[in-house]
Amino acid sequence: MTNENIGDILARRLRSRGLDKAALAAWVCATADKVSKQIALSDAAQSEWEALSFKNGTLKIRVASGARAHLIKMREKDYISKINLELKRNLVERLGFVID
């Protein structure tokens, strides 16, 4: 038995079953939701969003209105940098919007 890191074993198992992209997307979405809550607490003018999916560098989020999407779009680079900082990796490149 070799001394393997549990993270390495888990990553290899996820890759072998084709689940590595799904796990990454879930992690990015959960982190984006966490950042959304932090932003909403620190800036009363901004409401939360809900992360829906992540694929090919695009984080798709649900917002309450077109006006809210526009406000988020104006600060998109700032929000993306906060999400990537929390992830400790530059994964998110752009935001996509779904208006609820």
Query: In the prediction, which pLDDT does 11 show?
Result: 81
Spell out the alpha helix ranges (H) of 17-59.
Answer: 20-42
The percent of residues in the chain predicted with pLDDT above 90, rounded, is 55
Q: Could you give the domains of the chain?
A: 21-99 (3.30.300)
C-beta of residue 57 within 8 angstroms of C-beta of residue 24: no
pLDDT in tens, 39-74: 877 765 566 789 999 999 999 999 999 988 998 999
Is the Cβ–Cβ distance between 32 and 83 less than 8 Å? yes
Contact 72, 49 (CB under 8 A): yes
Q: What is the mean pLDDT of residues 20-37?
A: 92
